[in-house]
Chains A and B, each alone.
Chain A
Amino acid sequence: MLPELGHFALILALLLAGLQAFFGIAGPAFARERWTSAVTPAVAGQAVMVATAVVCLVTSFVGNDFSVLYVAENSNSALPLFYRVAALWGAHEGSLLLWILLLAAWTVAVALGSGRLPPRFAGRVLGVLGVVSFGFLLFTLATSNPFLRLDPPAPDGRDLNPILQDPGLAVHPPILYTGYVGFSVAFAFACAAMLEGRLDQNWARWTRPWTTSAWAFLTCGIALGSFWAYYELGWGGFWFWDPVENASFMPWLAGTALVHSLAVTDKRGLFKSWTLLLAILAFSLSLLGTFLVRSGVLVSVHSFAADPTRGIFILAFLIIMIGGALALYAWRAPLLRSTAGFELGSRESFLLFNNVLLVTALGTVFAGTLAPLISDALKLGTLSVGPPYFNPTFMISMLPLLALLSVGIHANWKRGRLKDSQRTLLLTFVAAAVLGCGYVFGLYSHAHLLSAVGATLAVWIVLSSLVDPIDRWRRGLTLPRAVLGMTVAHIGLAIAAFALTAVQSFTIERDVALAPGQTAKVGDYEIRFEGVRPVEGPNYDAVGGTLVVTRHGAPVAVMAPQKRRYWVQHTVKSETAIRWHRGNNVLLALGEDLGSGRWSIRVQIRPLVSLVWIAAFIMALGGALAASDRRYRTARALAPAPEAVAGAQTG
């Protein structure tokens, strides 16, 4: 009964989304007040229906209803309750439902927060969101229905993939998707502005908090995914430039550029068409990411069941949404000119450089990710692209960006007046060089020049970012939340850069073969193997190793990595043991039984790696702080702008 109810709820949601889209776009277009005011009830209705469907599916999971195919494929009666709920987004159909749920949530949030927006504009925004919802609901119902039945019902389920049986699973997809989906709001704002034919500084002001919050969520989501991969997959890597990782990183890069471009549009009414384009780009990349993961066109660790039919559907959806938005752009953007000016050394300039570098980084990641596809389509043979391509090319764009950040942060709007900051720049740079090189050459015997550069640039950013806030504090001025948020976010970036430099330069990895009683020396640490013993878990059997870790003889920890075999799927999974010690991460994992008690063991010493994720969360915190600044909710009093476009006053 419940699955049918859920299915029916989805169909109703589809209809309501369609109405939402229709009223939202046609209402303002034809100046029908009644239609425009019908949008909000449609939004509410759609949200309720989607929530109903989700509740039905969750209940089926919790109640072990194996007559539902999706539940039978992804759950099991021995699966702990926590994972039975999280299994909802464990595979393709359910994760789509999650997408739809989060889209509905964002739409409701926008509807609630649109009190201060002109009604026609708000209607358009919600209408565009309705189009997106409609597309996803149609896709789900047509190709990926989670409520399909199994007749006769399975006696028990196939169990959730053991890799996903981890607390990280419960958190990573929802937060990641919240970010991904959140860019649809910026997209909707952009489309609404294009439909309206007008884009002013108020528009930027309204769009900023939505974009920054989505960006913050995406930052957290990516960080969680990376962290999860690190301790769950256990090969000690936390970023492999896998197509699916790139699929979430590309919208992030575009989103970062968008956040900065919006600042310029808000402040000076400049870069309007760039901002529009970036808003379209960020969401397009989210959609493209969805496509890449589910269509089977790329080989990846994460791939959901690859299915070309689904691929075709999503591609059609992509063409309509993105093609439509870009066509709108080609039509409206030429009219958005501004006569404002700025100096070479101004804040606007530096933000321009920043965005160009971000887009360049985005372009190289894009090229590398799609290279196999492009090469195949152009008959250039099979191509394969991995970290040896991405790492160096990404750095080429990022290092200049880090350097320019420290300089640009002192630049004023319009007239940079960098000359006033010359002394500050010099002092901060010297201090950074001392600290950075001190760390690199002082703590490590084998340092590379690049490590020193990375560390110096990172410290420089921290010092530069603190100059203005400290100055304000000393002069007794208030620090607006937006400035505080910006400072925090930039410092987060700096910490991430510093940590990444340390990890890339000074990680020690060794695989050793040890018999019980033997010790291996890795870096400054000694690892003594004490043997293995059997361990029993709730839905698995395991072999647990005992390893005593000391540093220069002094005890550090006793660590117990495991190799588990899950009963239902017969998969073997390694549980790594990780300890944080004096800024280093010590990672141990069991390899193979080599016979007569000997085992191969992976040892990794990674300095400062945990800082990478902490830094990401600090960045997200900065974003959240900035987004909550109340300034964004007050419209500015503007003189009627000369570029309020002639002839574009329709609707």
Chain B
Amino acid sequence: MKQYLLAVHSVEGAPTRSDADTQIAYGRVAQINSDLQAAGAWVFGGGLLPADSTTVVRVENGKTTMTDGPFAETKEQLGGFWVIQCADLDQALAWAEKCAEACMEAVEVRPFQEEPDS
């Protein structure tokens, strides 16, 4: 089994979604979560609060610094994600299609590194 990250990308400053649309998206995402669990594909998933709630921690030469705000000042920010497991990319893409439709945002599919052999 391969594991894939399905990352939901939201664009900062995009027009806010209506409450009705948000409720529809929540409902669809809940449905997908239970579909993923029923198919044995679910590993983990969740939505994230907006990027302005982020803190970045760095350790350089033993010195820790903490800064407010996201790591990269870009318009696209991670809005939430799933980690799923399935046989191959085609299966991951099929889930991603459902996820993108449900949350009405672009979904980036990225394979996990294989665990190092013991």
> Do A and B come together as binding partners?
no
Residues of B at the A interface (CB closer than 8 Å) are none
A residues apposed to B, CB below 8 Å: none
